[in-house]
Structure 1
Amino acid sequence: MEIGFGMYDSCELCPRRCHARRSSGRAGLCGASATLRVARSALHFWEEPPISGESGSGAIFFTGCPLRCVFCQNHEISQEGFGLEVTTARLAQMMLELKDQGANNINLVTPMHFAPHVRKAVLEAKAHGMDLPIVCNTSGYENAEVVQAMSDVVDIWLTDFKYASGLVSGSLSAVPDYPQRAEEALLKMLAAVRAAGGRSEDARGIMRRGIIVRHLVLPGHVRDSLAVLDRVWELCGNDVDLSVMNQYTPNEGCRLAGGDLARAVTDEEYEAVLDHADELGFERMWWQQGGTVSESFVPAFDATGVEGPELCGEDGHEPKAHA
C-alpha cells in the first residue's frame, strides 16, 4: 500500500472502511473530511517518562477519531470537531517550531485518519532539518496495512490496547472488532520496530525507537484488563514497554448514565492489574501514583500553536475537501 491523497476519495484509512468521499467534503465516520484540522501544537509534559522526559514532548493534536468512546476525555476534538484548518506545509512548520522549543520528539496524537497529510508533512520537515523521533500516539484501532505503510516515517508507537472483549469494545467505543484490529496493528508495529533494530533510547533515557502499549483501567472491568495484559504479553513479551493507567475520570455522560463508569477506579482494581503485569513478567512498566486525575493530563484545546507561517519553499499543493 502507498499512502497518497487519493485515499480520501473512498476512505479505508481506518478499520471502519466507511468509503466516505472525503475529498468531496463528506466526513468519514472519524468525523473528518479531507481538510486537515489541528486543535493544538505545544510541548506536553504528561506522557510516559521515555516520551516527555523533562523537556516535554512536541504534541500535535488532530481533530477527529475513528472511535466513539463514551468516556472520552478529549471529546472536544475527537467527537465535536474542534480544530483549525491547516495546510501540510503549516503542519511541517509546526514540527520545526516544536523542535526549536526543545521537544524530545514530535508526538502526533490520533493522526492516522490524516495519514496522507501527515506522511507528506513529516517528509517535508525532515528535508528541512527536523531530526526528532516521530511518535504515533494512537487508540490502537488502526488499519494494519496503513500502519505498515507509515512505518518508515514513524519511530515510536505510543498505542493503546483498550479491550480484549469485543462485547466491551462494541458497547463502550462502538467498534466490536477492536480486539482483532488492535492486535493486527500491534503486530505490524512490532515487526517494523524489530526490522529497524529494536528499541533504543538516548543517554537521558528518552526513547528514540520502540513501542509503548497503554492500557487504561476502567472501573468494573478488571477482568477485561487482565485479558488485555495476557494478550499483549503473548504477542510481544518484553519487546514493548507497558503503561498501565488509572487516570479514568467519568465525564458528564457517564455520571448521568450511572453504573460502574460513573465512578473512579478503586485502588484495589488498579493494584490487581499492576500485580498481574508483574506476574506476567513485564520488565519496563509505567504506572500512575495517586488518585484518578484525568483532567490534569488533558491540555486546553484552544488552538495553541496552530496558526502561523508555512514551511518556506513548499508549494502546498494538496486536495482540499469541498462541499
Structure 2
Amino acid sequence: MGRPRPTQIKAALARSSLKRSLHLAPPFLLDDYIPRYQLLTSVEASKKRSRAYAHLRNCNLCPRLCGVNRYETTGMCLIGANVKVNVIAPHFGEEPCIQGHNGSGSVFFSGCNLRCSFCQNHDIAHQRNGMDLTPEELAEWYMKLQEVGNVHNINLITPEHVVPQVALSILHARELGLRIPIIYNTSAFDSLASLELMDGLVDIYLPDFKVWSPATSRRLLKAEDYAAAARESVRAMHAQVGDLCFTGDGLAKKGVLVRHLVMPGKEAEGELIMKFLAEDLGRDVFVNIMEQYRPAANVGKPKRRAKVVETGGVEAAQKDGEVRYAEINRAVTDEEVSTVRRAAERAGLWRFNDPPKHDGFAI
C-alpha cells in the first residue's frame, strides 16, 4: 500500500480535529469554577441576611404561604426557626456527576412542605427526626464535610421549608472558608420568593418534577397546585444557572439537573413533563428519568377499618385485603420507563443520566 498523500493527511486531521473539539469541548465544559456565593459582595450578602430573617418572622417561602412567625410556631412543615437535620454525611447514591469519587456532602433535612403518599424518605420527611441546628451550626457541618469528608459539593436535600436558615448557613460558611458548590435538591414545590433568596447562593438546582395533573397532585402529594408551582420554579431555576455544566473531571459544577421518578400508570404525565422541559427550558436540559419507584410510606397499607351501613340498615365491616393507593402499589415496569424515555427523545431531549459510551464521564 502506498503512502497517503499530503492532501489526504490534511483531510484526515481536519476530520479528527472536528470530532475532538466537539467531544472534548462542548459548551457544557468549564475550565474552572468559582461557587456563586463566593462572588457576592458584602452588601448583597447583608441584604440576603436581612431578607432571610424577615421571612422567618412571616413565613411565605413556599407555595403553602402559611404566614406564621417561625420564632413562635410552625406551619405545614412543622419546623421552627432552627433546622432539624436527620443525616449529614458523604453520600454515594446520587448521579455520578454529583457524587464523584468522594461522595456528595448530603444534608437530609427533616420535615417537608409536601405529604407525598409514596415518599421514599417518609421516615425523615414526614416526621421530626434528627438534631436541631442553628444556621451557624449547620455551616460548621458544611465545613466538616469539606475538610474531613473531602466531598465534592454540599447537597441540601428537601430544603424548601428551611430556605431562610439555609441562606444564613451558606453565608456563614462562606466566612468560614467554604469553597465547594451548593446543590439545592428539591421536590420543585418552591416559590419564586424562595428561589429569589437562593439566587447567588446555589450552583446546582436538582428539582424532582413528580407529576403533572392537579388530580394526581391532590391525591398523591396533597397539593393540588404542585405542577403549576413546579413549572414556575423550574423555569426560575434554569433562568438563574442555565444548563448543567462540568469541569474536565466529569463533576457537575453549575446548572439544572431535572429528575423525574416514573410511577406506575403515570407515564402519560411523565410524557407531558418531558415535553414541557424541552419546550420551556430547551432541549439541552440534563434529565434523569428514574426507575427506582417502590411502594413506600402510606402506599399498600391496609385501609382504615370502618363500618359501612348497607341498604336496610345492616352494618358490614370494610372488606379485608383492601389497601391504600392500590393503583400505585407495585413496582414500575420497564415499558413504563421506556415510554417516558421515548417521549423525552421525541421532544428533542438528549442529555440523559446514562452510563457513558466511552471511557470516562458522561458530560
TM-score normalised by structure 2 residue count: 0.75
Find out whether 1:12 has 2:12 as its counterpart.
Answer: no
Looking at structure 2, the residues matched to 12 and 71 of structure 1 have their Cα atoms a distance apart, in angstroms, of: 26
- 1:50: which partner in 2? 97
- 1:132: which partner in 2? 180
- 1:274: which partner in 2? 341
Which amino acid counterpart does residue 253 of structure 2 have in structure 1? R
**Cα deviations by residue, 1:79-133 (Å, 9 ceiling, x for unpaired):** 1111211122211111111112121100001113212211111112122221100
Looking at structure 1, the residues matched to 236 and 284 of structure 2 have their Cα atoms a distance apart, in angstroms, of: 13
Find out whether 1:213 has 2:258 as its counterpart.
Answer: yes
Looking at structure 2, the residues matched to 69 and 216 of structure 1 have their Cα atoms a distance apart, in angstroms, of: 13
- 2:132: which partner in 1? 85
Do the aligned partners of 1:50 and 1:206 also contact (CA within 8 Å) in 2?
Answer: yes
Do the aligned partners of 1:68 and 1:79 also contact (CA within 8 Å) in 2?
Answer: yes
Looking at structure 2, the residues matched to 184 and 119 of structure 1 have their Cα atoms a distance apart, in angstroms, of: 21
Q: 2:143 aligns with which of 96, 115, 119?
A: 96
Which amino acid counterpart does residue 64 of structure 1 have in structure 2? G
Do the aligned partners of 2:114 and 2:222 also contact (CA within 8 Å) in 1?
Answer: yes
- 2:269: which partner in 1? 224
Higher mean alpha-carbon deviation, 248-257 vs 62-71, is at 248-257
Do the aligned partners of 2:119 and 2:297 also contact (CA within 8 Å) in 1?
Answer: no
Q: 1:60 aligns with which of 90, 100, 107?
A: 107
Looking at structure 2, the residues matched to 113 and 245 of structure 1 have their Cα atoms a distance apart, in angstroms, of: 24
Q: 1:254 aligns with which of 287, 294, 299?
A: 299
Do the aligned partners of 1:59 and 1:106 also contact (CA within 8 Å) in 2?
Answer: yes
SS of the residue 2:55 aligns to: helix
Following superposition, the deviation at residue 260 of structure 1 comes to: 2.3
Find out whether 1:165 has 2:201 as its counterpart.
Answer: no
Q: Residues 165 and 116 (structure 1 numbering): CA distance in 2 closer, same or farther, change over 3 Å?
A: same
Which amino acid counterpart does residue 124 of structure 1 have in structure 2? H
SS of the residue 1:76 aligns to: helix
Number of residue pairs aligned between Structure 1 and Structure 2 = 284
Looking at structure 2, the residues matched to 220 and 162 of structure 1 have their Cα atoms a distance apart, in angstroms, of: 13
Find out whether 1:121 has 2:169 as its counterpart.
Answer: yes
Which amino acid counterpart does residue 100 of structure 2 have in structure 1? G
**Which has the bigger relative contact order, CA under 8 A and spacing at least 6?**
1
Following superposition, the deviation at residue 259 of structure 1 comes to: 2.2
Looking at structure 2, the residues matched to 129 and 121 of structure 1 have their Cα atoms a distance apart, in angstroms, of: 12
Find out whether 1:149 has 2:197 as its counterpart.
Answer: yes
Following superposition, the deviation at residue 147 of structure 1 comes to: 0.5
Q: 2:237 aligns with which of 180, 189, 192?
A: 189
Find out whether 1:111 has 2:111 as its counterpart.
Answer: no
- 1:293: which partner in 2? none
SS of the residue 2:71 aligns to: helix
Do the aligned partners of 2:245 and 2:252 also contact (CA within 8 Å) in 1?
Answer: yes
Which amino acid counterpart does residue 27 of structure 1 have in structure 2? T
Which amino acid counterpart does residue 110 of structure 1 have in structure 2? T
**Runs of 5+ unmatched residues, structure 2:** 1-46, 302-323, 356-363
Q: 2:245 aligns with which of 179, 200, 218?
A: 200
Looking at structure 1, the residues matched to 270 and 212 of structure 2 have their Cα atoms a distance apart, in angstroms, of: 7
- 1:31: which partner in 2? 78
Which amino acid counterpart does residue 200 of structure 1 have in structure 2? C
Which amino acid counterpart does residue 276 of structure 1 have in structure 2? A
Following superposition, the deviation at residue 8 of structure 1 comes to: 2.0
Following superposition, the deviation at residue 287 of structure 1 comes to: 5.4
Looking at structure 2, the residues matched to 46 and 64 of structure 1 have their Cα atoms a distance apart, in angstroms, of: 21
Following superposition, the deviation at residue 251 of structure 1 comes to: 1.7
Do the aligned partners of 1:245 and 1:287 also contact (CA within 8 Å) in 2?
Answer: no
Higher mean alpha-carbon deviation, 102-111 vs 133-142, is at 102-111
**Runs of 5+ unmatched residues, structure 1:** 289-323
Following superposition, the deviation at residue 9 of structure 1 comes to: 2.2
- 2:281: which partner in 1? 236
Do the aligned partners of 1:106 and 1:134 also contact (CA within 8 Å) in 2?
Answer: yes
Among all aligned residue pairs of Structure 1 and Structure 2, give the percentage whose two residues are the same amino acid.
36
Do the aligned partners of 1:31 and 1:79 also contact (CA within 8 Å) in 2?
Answer: no
**Cα deviations by residue, 1:1-46 (Å, 9 ceiling, x for unpaired):** 953223122211100101123210x221112122221111101111
Do the aligned partners of 1:16 and 1:29 also contact (CA within 8 Å) in 2?
Answer: yes
TM-score normalised by structure 1 residue count: 0.84
Looking at structure 1, the residues matched to 346 and 197 of structure 2 have their Cα atoms a distance apart, in angstroms, of: 35
